[in-house]
Amino acid sequence: MILKRLTIRNFGRIHEKTFDLSPGINVLYGENESGKTTTHTFVRSMLYGITRQRGRAARNDIYSKYEPWDNPADYGGTIWFESQGKSYRLTRNFYRENQAAELLCEEDGEFLDVENGALENILGNVSEAVYDNTVSVAQLKSVTGPDLARELQNYMASYQGTADSSLDLGRAMQMLKMSRKGHQVQQEKHRKEMEKEQEKLAAKMEYLSQELDELGSRHTKVLEKEEMLQMKSGDDSAERMIDEKIRSVQNRKMGITIAAVIAIVLGTAAFWGRGSFPDGMSRLGLDICIILSAGMVVYTFFARRKLARELGRQKKLKTRWLAQQEKLKWNRETLKETAEEKKTDFFNLQNEYRDYETEMYLPTAQDTEIQALNMAMETIQMLSGNIHRQVGRRLRQRTSRILREITHGRYQEVMMDQELHITVNTPDRSIPAERLSRGTTEQVYFALRMAAGDLLCGNTPFPVILDDIFGMYDEARLTSALHWLADQNKQVIISTCSKREMEILDKEGIPYQRLVL
């Protein structure tokens, strides 16, 4: 397989960028944070798609990390590549609302069905895990991932019972146990996260319960005040009592007013009739009547003023009473509405808490994986233990050969146990990989990846894509690695923020194509 052209339409920080690639060595040069890893991830995403995670995991998955801020609906690009003698054009849109993949065979103009496995067949059914751990080496990734071990198991297991058989059942069992242990750790982590979320929900429910109790207490106090004011539903005796007092004062005021009018009429009549009676006794009686009428008028004047003040007090009392009644009514209704909202929140938290309880007992992806691993282990235990080790030997032999070539014979042989722990033989002694220098360790794992790539991608040779992995190499190691890559007759894409690779390629006369971000 050869990548001929990449057009990154909108992916991460890269927009409308096209790269034409050569079949040999290509050097993608750019400063830090310029988009080298983004380009690396774009190629993998085009070949294998992007699987979106669910729930909280979706916040940091590949899709979210590289989703463009500007024009996210145009999230994707196009690659042109050659495989098995035919040229293809693959276009993808990763946008979650409009995911699409179009694969065109340019030789005959036929559109192939990506969803039904056409692309996988063209790629030789090389999985994404194999791709990630062999021919595609990500930045700072200097050791094999657990997926590589599993893919090696699967590859080895396919040779059981054949002349090319190579799997040691004990080794496979150890690998499966390691994988199961990893899933069990994830399962326990998930369980603890669930318990932690439940604890948070329980604390929220406890707080809401206290708030509801407080609201209930305040509501009771409002009802007590309403009862003191005789403000129960359908009871208007307090207001009627105040109205009766007002009417009583008004009636008294009216009576006094009438009495004053009568006194004025009588006094006026007595005053005008005084001249009609010549005798002294009659006139004296009329004078007394006038005096009494005047006294009555004065009395009614002051009495009316007193009653007017009393009437004003009663009306103010009614106004205050009505205001207090309205305030208590508003408080009661507000407390009721707030309590209903809190009850709804409490009910929702209860449901969420129950959902977590239910989810705790539902099988998860980890449970399914553990169950599958247990079944695989049971199957292996049932198989015959007489399995050849040829593929394991081939992996060691190929890794050893690559290491000898890139170290000019300084390291002769690589040995691996069932967990892919590595020991390196020199002409003088054996050295565990963890005791090697960082640069040599990088060389060993590079050799292992390339060897595994030859075994697992042998039917469909993939481009070797290296993302800033030569940082710990000195000039001699880097020169050897570049010569080895050039001799493999494969397409190589080297992403780097240093000009060392290009300077050595120029110095050694190794042809390459330079691409600049």
CB distance 426 to 404 below 8 Å: no
Mean pLDDT value across residues 213-220: 81
* Confidence category of residue 419, pLDDT binned at 50, 70, 90: low
Residue 487 pLDDT: 93
* Confidence category of residue 392, pLDDT binned at 50, 70, 90: low
Residue 29 pLDDT: 93
Terminal CA-CA length for the chain: 24
Residue 443 pLDDT: 84
401: pLDDT strictly greater than 50: yes
Q: What percent of the chain has pLDDT over 70?
A: 80
510: pLDDT strictly greater than 90: yes
Range scoring the smallest mean pLDDT among 2-16, 47-61, 100-114: 47-61
Cβ neighbours of residue 511 closer than 8 Å, sequence gap 6 or more: 24, 25, 486, 505
312-359 pLDDT, tens digit each: 787 787 777 777 777 777 877 888 888 888 888 888 888 887 877 777
Q: Ranked by mean pLDDT, which of 19-33, 234-248, 454-468 comes out on top? A: 19-33
Residue 140 pLDDT: 42
Say how far apart CA 455 and CA 457 lie, in whole Å: 6
225-280 pLDDT, tens digit each: 766 665 444 445 666 667 777 777 777 778 777 877 777 777 777 667 666 655 55
Alpha-carbon distances of 363 from 111, 358, 368, rounded to whole Å: 40, 10, 7
Residue 143 pLDDT: 46
**pTM for this structure?**
0.55
Mean pLDDT value across residues 278-296: 68
484: pLDDT strictly greater than 70: yes
23: pLDDT strictly greater than 90: yes
Residue 431 pLDDT: 86
> 503-509: long-range contacts at Cβ-Cβ below 8 A with a sequence spacing of 24 or more?
504/475, 504/478, 504/479, 505/25, 505/27, 508/479, 508/482, 508/483
Residue whose structure tokens are 């305040």: 218
137-171 pLDDT, tens digit each: 764 444 444 554 444 445 444 433 333 333 445 66
DSSP state of 13: T
Q: How confident is the prediction for the chain on average, in pLDDT?
A: 79
Mean pLDDT value across residues 82-96: 93
Residue 352 pLDDT: 81
Residue 55 pLDDT: 72
Residue 507 pLDDT: 95
Mean pLDDT value across residues 467-489: 90
Say how far apart CA 122 and CA 86 lie, in whole Å: 10
